[in-house]
Structure 1
Amino acid sequence: MVRLFLAGLAILCACLTANAQEAGLQPILQEHQEIIAKSSRKTIKPAIDAIASSGLPQAQVMLETWAAKNMWMRKSDGLFFSGQKGEGRSYELTDFDTGEVVGTFEKTELKQLKPNSGIRAMIGTALVRFQLTDPDRAKRLAALQSIQRDPEGALLEPLRASIEAEPDAALKAQKQRLERLLTIRYDADISARVTAIEEMSDDLGVDVRAALNPLVVTKLQTAADLPSDVNIANLLQPGSHDLSRDAAYDLLVASDLAALRVSPDDIRAALAANIDGGRVGGIPVVQLNTDAARAQAYAELAEARTVRALITQTDVDIALDSHVFFEIYAEPSSEVTAAAKKALEQIELKVGLNQTLDLTLDAISLASIYFLAAIGLAITFGVMGVINMAHGEFIMMGAYTGYVVQQFIPDHTLSIIVAIPMAFAVTFAMGVAMERLVIRWLYARPLETLLATFGISIALQQLAKNIFGTQARPLTAPGWLDGAWVLNDVVSISYIRIAIFVLAMIFLGLFLYIMKRTRLGLEMRAVTQNPRMAGSMGINPGRVNMLTFGLGSGIAGVAGVAIGLFAKVTSDLGSDYIVQSFMTVVVGGVGNIWGALAGAGMIGFLQKGIEWMNPSNTLAAQTYMIIFIIIFIQFRPRGIIALKGRAAGD
C-alpha cells in the first residue's frame, strides 16, 4: 500500500509539472500584466521573480527580449510577445511559449515595453540563474560578474547547483570562491556560515573583508532593561569615553524614552511669544537680562502649562540611571559575529604584514630609480669631484632619445633595445664635448664648475623646449612590461619598476667590472688617487677624465630611457631627479659605488616611510627627508661608506 501511495504521488507530481509546462509562460505574464505594463521599478520585482523561478526554458529568452526592449503587448487582449520590425510601422509578433509567429500588427495596436535602467538591472540579476549554466563561457563569466556586483541570497542555490557541472577550471574556482562569500552573508545554516568564514580567514581579498565587515557592524541602542533576544556587542556607561552623558540623553530622546531638553534659544523664543503687559510670567521684560531671570520666567510659564517644562540635571540623571545603553550587532547570530571578528583579526594582521612587504618593494623600486639616476653622478662627482648641475639634463636627453627612436621604430620592444645604446652614445658624446670644452678648464675650481654646469643645464632645457615643445612626449613601454606582478590584493609591483631594478643591478655589475677588471678602471682609480703620479707612469689624465665624464653622462642617458617609461618626458624631467641624485651620492659616500647604492636604499626607504606616515602631503614628506639627511650628514659627513686612504684626504 505504501508503495502504491508513493507511486501515485509521483505520478501526480509529474502530471502537475507537465501541466505547468503545458501552461507555459503567458499565464504568468497575464497574472502580472498590470505591473509589467506599468514598468515601475518599485513594483516590478514580483513579476520578474515569478518569471525567473518558473523553471520554464523559454523564461530566459523572454527576459532577454524584455531587457532588449523587444517585448510588445497586444492591446486587444493584453498578451505579450516578442516583436520584430516589419514593413512600415508594422511589427511581427512571436509567441514566447511556442516560438511561432502569431501575425503582423500595426504599431498603433501594440504597446512596447521599455524597461528603464533600474528594471534592466533587476532583469539582469534574474537572468543570472540561467546564465550560470549557459553553454557560452562568456555568458557564464558575465553571470559571475553580475553576482559580484549585486549579490543576493536568492542566487546562492543556483550558484551552488552550477559548480559541479562547470567545465572550465578557472570559472569553477571563481564560482567556488563566490559561493563561499555568498554563504557567509546569506546562508540560513549558521554552522555553514561559520565554516565558510573559517575557510576564508586566510584570504586577503577585498571582497572577503567586504563580506565580513557588515557582520560586525554595531548600532547603539537603549532600553529600560537589557533585551535577551539580540546579539549584544558592548554595554556602555553614560559619561565614559565611548558615550558622553549628553549623547546618551539624546539617544533617549530619539527613542522617545525621555523628554526633549529646552535650549536657550527655545527659552528666548517662548518668552518673546508670551509677553503680556510688559511682563513674562510676572517678571518685567526689562529684568530678563540674565539666564537666571529668563529661566525663572520660563518656569512660571511652564507651571501655568503655557510651555513645556524645563529638563533639569536631576531629570537627566534619573533618565540615564533608569535605562541601559548597549551596542548590538546587525548580525543576529553571536556565533557568526564571533567567527567574523576572529577572521578579521587574522586578516588584519596578515594585511599589515603584506602592507609592510608592499612598502618594502615600493622602497626598493624607488631606490633602484634613484640609484640608476645617480650612478652616473657617482662617477663624475664621486670619482672626479666635478659638480655637474647638468646631470639631470643628461637624463632628460636620454629620455628624449628614446622618444625619437620610437618615432622611427614602431615596435616598442625593438625600439627600447635600440634606444638604450643610442641614449648612451648621445649622452656620452655630449658629456665628452662638455668635458673638453668647459670642465677641463675648471678642475679644482668647484664654484666656477657649479655655475658653468648650471648655466649649461638651463641652456639644454631651453633647447629641448625649442625642439620638442613644452607638451609631455610619450615613451611607450613594450607590451610585456604592462601590468604588475600581483602577489595578492595587497602586494603588487609594476613590471616596469622590476625592469628598472634589474637594469640598475646590471649597471652596478658593469661599473664594478669596468673599475676592477679593465685598464680604463685601473687608470680611473690611479688618476683619482694621484693624477701627477699617474701621469708619470704613462697615463694621460686628460684622456681618462674625458672618458670618465663621458661614461657617467652615458649612464645618465640610459637612466633617462628607463625613467621615461613611467614618468612624463618633458624638458623639466631632469630637474625632478638632480637633487635626489646628489643626495644619494653624498649620503652614500662620495667616490664609492657601494656608497651610492646604500645612499639610494636609505633615501628610498626613508621617503616611502615618511610618505606612508603622511600620505596626503608628498611635499612635506620630501621636506622631512631633506631635514633628516642634513642631520645625518652632521653626524656622518663622509656618508654611509666613507673612502679611506689618499683619495679621502687622510
Structure 2
Amino acid sequence: MVRILLCLMCLLTSVSVASAQDLQSILQTHSDEVAKPSRNSVGVLLDDMVASGLSQVPAFLEQWVGRSVWQDDTTGQFYIATEVDDTLTLRNIDTGQETTALADGFSQLRPNGGVRRVIGTALVQFQLSDPDPERRHAALESIARRSDASQFEPLMASLNGEEDPALRARKVQLINFLTARFGDASEDRIRAIESLSSDTSLEARAVLSQILSVTTGVAVQQPDGNIARILDPMADPSANYEKLVGAELAPAIVPPGEIRAALEANIVESRVGGIPLARLDDPERRVDAYRTLADAGAVPPLVTQDDINTALQDAVFYELYDEDEVAITDAARATLDAVETRVGWAQTFDLTLDGLSLASIYFLAAIGLAITFGQMGVINMAHGEFIMMGAYTGYAVQLIVPDYTVSLLIALPLAFAVTFGAGVAMERLVIRHLYHRPLETLLATFGISIALQQIAKNIFGTQARPLTSPDWLGGALVISDVVQISYIRIAIFVLALIFLFVLLYILKRTRLGLEVRAVTQNPGMAASMGINPDRINMMTFGLGSGIAGVAGVGIGLYAQVTSEMGANYIVQSFMTVVVGGVGSVFGTLAGAGLIGFLQKGIEWLNPSNTLAAQTYMILFIILFIQFRPKGIVAPKGRAAAD
C-alpha cells in the first residue's frame, strides 16, 4: 500500500512539473484575461507567468505586445501567428512547431495601449537578465523612461549576474534613482538623494524634481502637511481670485453685461432698487441699485475691487509637496541646488569651449589676412575666396583618394600650394600695380572675388559639397551631460595653434620673416640693404593666400563647402585683424578671441536670434574701435608712427 501511495505521489509531482513547464496551460487558466485583457485584470496573469520562470514567456510577451498572438475560436488554444493572404502560419507557444490554417477560424488579440504598457513592464523583468546585451540595454532604457517602484526588485536581482561594466554601472545608477524616489526607509532615500549631488545628468535632475513636485492650493488657513512655500496672492490677483471662486471660498465676479441685464430685469415703476431710471446714467448709482437688489437676494452679490483684495489677503495660497516627509524634500532641495550650481559652472565651461572653438575658426580665417592686410596694407576682398579654393581643393582630393585620413594629409599641403600660386598670380597681375591706392585695390579685389565665386559655381555647381572628416574626427568629446565638444572643433583648435607657432617662427626666426618685417617698416631702406621689395611682397602675399587655403580645408570640415563660403568669413576676418591690431599676429589671436567669445556670449543671451547677435557684435566692435583705434595690440616704434 505504501509503495502504491509513493508511486501516485511521484506521478502527481511529475504531472504538476510538466504542467508548470506548459505556458499554454497557464494561458488557458486565464483565458479571459488573455483574450480580453484590461489593465486591472492582466496583472494576475502576468504574475503567474513571471512566477513560472518559463523561458518561452519573454517571447510570448513580445508577440502579445506586437499583436501577433491569435486564438483558435474552436479549441481556445493560443498561437503565435503571421497572416499572409488570409492564411495563418501558426507556431506553438511551447514547442515552436509550425502549422498553417485559414484565418477565418481564429481571432487576433489586440491589447490596448494601457495593457501593452503593463505587459512591457513585465517583459522588462525578463530582459534585464537576457543574454543579449542589447536587450538588457533596451530594458534599462525602458525603466529610465517609465520608472516604477515594482522595477526595483527585478533590477536588484539582475545586478549580481551582470558582467558588462557599462550595463552594471547603468543598473547601479537606476537603482539609486529608484531608491531615491520609492525606497522604503527614509534613511536609504536620503542617502540616495545626497549621492546625486555630483550627478549633473538630466535624469538625476528629473528624479530630484519629481521628488520636489508640488500641488498648488488655496485655503482659509494654512493647511497641515509638507508646505513648499506660501504664495503671494497679489502676484496675479485675477488668476488667484478665480482659484478662490473655484474653491467656493469667494463669490464670482459679476460681468458688466450681467449687471446691466439684472438692472433691466428688475425695473419696477420706473425704478430699480428704489433709484429712478433717470439717475442710472451715473455708474455709481447703477452700482447702488445693483447692491440694493443683491441685499434683497434678487441677484448675485456684487464683487468690488476692495472685496477682491480683502478676499485675497484673507486666503492662504500655497504649494504643498507631494512628498510627505520634510527630511526627504529638504535633502532633495539641497541636492538639487548643489546640482544646479554644478550645472551652471559646467554651462559656463561649455560656453567657454564654444567661444574658444569659434575664436579658433576666426583665427584660421584671419591669419592669412593678417599678413596681406596687416603686414602689406593690402585690402584683399578676395581673401574669403582663397578660403573657398582651399576647401574645394580638399573636396577634389577626396574624390580621387577615398581614404579620408590620407586625403586630408594630401589636401592640406596641396591647398597651400594651389592658393599660394593663385595669390602670387594675383599679386603679380593686379596688386603690384595698385600699391598705396587702397580704393582701387578694394574694388579690384572685390571684382576678383565675384569672378572666383562664379568660376567655382561653373566647376562645382551651386549645391553644397561634402568635405568629409575621417572617422577618428567623428563624434564629440563628452566631458559630462552638459559639457561636450566635437573632435572636429578640437582639430581646428590644434590647427590654429600650429598656424600660430609656424607663422611666428617664419616671421621671427627666418630670413624671409626678417625681410618681410624690413620691407613692411621701410621699403626704401630694405632695398638699399639688398632686399628686393617686389619679391618680398610677392612671397608675402602668396604666404598669406596659402595659409588661407589651408584654413579653408579646416573650415570645410566644419562648415558647408559652397562658392559663397568665403563671404561668410571675410567680414569677421577684417574685424579680427583690425580689432586685434593691424600687423600683429598676437593681435589677430586676441581679436579672434574677443570676437569669438563676444559672439557666443551674445548668442547665449539671445539664442533664438543669431542675426541680432551678429548685429550687436558689430556695434560693439564699432564702439571698441572708437576708444582704441589701434586695436588690442597696438603697433610700436616706426610702424606705430606710420
TM-score by length of 1: 0.90
Q: Which residue of 2 aligns with 1:226?
A: 222
Task: Render the CA deviation track for 1:156-196: whole Å, top value 9, x for unaligned.
Answer: 11111111111111110111011111222222322211111
Are 1:634 and 2:626 counterparts? yes
Partner residue in 1 for 2:437? 445
1:196 to 192, 196, 199: 192
Instruction: Give the SS at the match of 2:215.
Output: strand
- 2:83 and 2:103 in contact (8 A); partners too: no
Say yes or no: does 1:168 pair with 2:164: yes
Displacement after TM superposition at 1:293 (Å): 3.7
- The residue matched to 2:51 in structure 1 has which SS? coil
Residue 198 of structure 2: SS of its match in structure 1? coil
Note the C-alpha offset of 1:303: 4.4
Residue 153 of structure 2 corresponds to residue 157 of structure 1: yes
Asked if 1:46 is matched to 2:38, the reply is no
Q: 1:70: which partner in 2?
A: 68
Residues 275, 47 of structure 1: CA spacing in aligned structure 2 closer, same or farther, 3 A cutoff?
farther
Counterpart residue number, 2:5? none
Distance 1:320 1:535 in 2: 89
**Cα distance 1:52–1:522, how it changes in 2: closer, same or farther (>3 A)?**
farther
**2:89, 2:98 within 8 Å by CA — same for their partners in 1?**
no
**Which residue type is aligned with residue 157 of structure 2?**
A
1:619 and 2:588 are equivalent in the alignment: no
Aligned positions of 1:586-597 closer than 5 A: 586-597=578-589
Secondary structure at the aligned position of 1:200 is classed as helix
- Report the Cα offset of residue 342 of structure 1: 0.5
For the pair 1:215 / 2:207, whether they are aligned, the reply is no
1:539 aligns with 2:534: no
Q: Structure 2: which 5+ runs fail to align?
A: 1-8
Q: What does residue 120 of structure 2 align with?
A: 124
Q: Equivalences for 1:308-323 in 2 at 5 Å?
A: 308-312=300-304, 316=308, 319-320=311-312, 323=315
Tell me the equivalent position of 1:4: none
**1:417-454: CA deviation from partner (whole Å, max 9, x where unpaired):** 11111111111111001100111111111111111111
Residue 259 of structure 1, CA deviation: 2.3
Of 489, 495, 498, the residue aligned with 1:503 is: 495
SS of 1:76's equivalent in the other structure is: coil
Q: 1:56 aligns with which of 41, 53, 58?
A: 53
Matched residue SS, 1:485: strand
Aligned equivalents of 2:73, 2:406: Cα separation in 1: 67
Partner of 1:5: none
User: Which amino acid in 2 is paired with 1:76?
Assistant: T
Assess if the C-alpha contact under 8 Å between 1:25 and 1:51 holds in 2: no
Mapping for residues 462-481 of structure 1, pairs under 5 Å: 462-481=454-473
Q: CA-to-partner distance for each residue in 1:327-377, whole Å, 9 max, x for gaps?
A: 211222211111111111111111111111111111111111111111111
Letter in 2 for 1:139: R
Deviation at 1:119, TM superposition (A): 4.5
Answer yes or no: is the 8 Å Cα contact 1:376–1:551 preserved in 2.
yes
Q: Residue 391 of structure 2: SS of its match in structure 1?
A: helix
**What is residue 266 of structure 1 aligned with on the other side?**
258
AA in 1 matched with 2:227: I
Q: Distance in 2 between matches of 1:102 and 1:585?
A: 77
Q: What is the aligned partner in structure 2 of residue 344 from structure 1?
A: 336
Deviation at 1:104, TM superposition (A): 6.3
Tell me the SS of whatever aligns to 1:158: helix
TM-score normalised to the size of structure 2? 0.91
Letter in 2 for 1:519: R
Q: Give the 3 Å change call, closer, same or farther, for CA 89–438 of structure 1 in structure 2.
A: closer
Q: How far apart are 1:71 and its partner, in Å?
A: 1.5
Establish whether residue 144 from structure 1 lines up as the match of residue 167 from structure 2. Answer: no
Return the letter of the residue paired with 1:357. Answer: F
- 1:51/1:59 contact within 8 Å kept: no
1:584 maps to which of 545, 565, 576:
576
Contact 1:281 1:301 in 2 (8 A): yes
1:80 match: 78
User: Is the alpha carbon distance of 1:32 and 1:22 closer, same or farther for their aligned partners in structure 2, counting shifts above 3 Å?
Assistant: closer
How far did 1:324 drift?
3.1
Aligned to 2:129: 133
Which of 417, 420, 423 lines up with 1:431 in the alignment?
423
1:560 corresponding residue in structure 2 = 552
In structure 2, how many angstroms separate the alpha carbons of the residues matched to 1:140 and 1:301? 73
Runs of 5+ in structure 1 lacking a partner? Answer: 1-10
Q: 2: CA distance between counterparts of 1:464 and 1:346?
A: 54
Q: Offset at 1:263? A: 2.2
Partner SS for 1:196: helix
Q: Aligned ranges for residues 267-346 of structure 1 at < 5 Å?
A: 267-271=259-263, 288-312=280-304, 316=308, 319-320=311-312, 323-346=315-338
Tell whether 2:444 aligns with 1:459: no
The whole-number CA distance in structure 1 between the counterparts of 2:202 and 2:407 is: 39
Q: Which whole-Å deviations, capped at 9, do the CAs of 1:552-587 have from their partners, x for residues lacking one?
A: 000001111111111111111111111111111111
Distance 1:566-1:237 versus aligned 2 partners, 3 A rule: closer
**Contact (CA 8 Å) 1:48, 1:126: kept in 2 or not?**
no
Instruction: Provide closer, same or farther for how the CA distance between residues 44 and 444 of structure 1 changes in structure 2, counting only shifts above 3 A.
Output: farther
For the aligned residue pairs, the C-alpha RMSD in angstroms reads 2.9
User: Could you tell me which amino acid in structure 2 is paired with residue 56 of structure 1?
Assistant: G
Contact 2:34 2:42 in 1 (8 A): no
Amino acid at match of 1:631: L
C-alpha displacement of 1:52: 5.3
| Contact 1:181 1:211 (8 Å CA) reproduced | yes
Aligned CA distance change for structure 1 residues 25 and 276 (closer, same or farther; 3 Å)? farther
**Does the 8 Å CA contact 1:483/1:495 hold for their aligned counterparts?**
yes
Q: Could you tell me which residue of structure 1 aligns to residue 356 of structure 2?
A: 364
SS at match of 1:201: helix
- The alpha-carbon distance between structure 1 residues 482 and 34, as it changes in their structure 2 partners (threshold 3 A), is same
SS at match of 2:197: coil
SS across alignment from 1:54: helix
* Alignment of 1:395 onto 2:390: no
Question: Secondary structure of the residue that 1:309 maps to in structure 2?
Answer: coil
Change (3 A) 1:92 1:504: closer
Distance (Å, rounded) in 1 between the aligned partners of 2:30 and 2:264: 60
Q: Structure 1 residues 212 and 89 mapped into 2: Cα distance closer, same or farther (>3 Å)? A: same
Distance 2:410 2:232 in 1: 72
- State the 1:35 CA deviation: 4.9
Q: C-alpha distance in 2, partners of 1:416/1:535?
A: 40
Shift of 1:289: 3.7
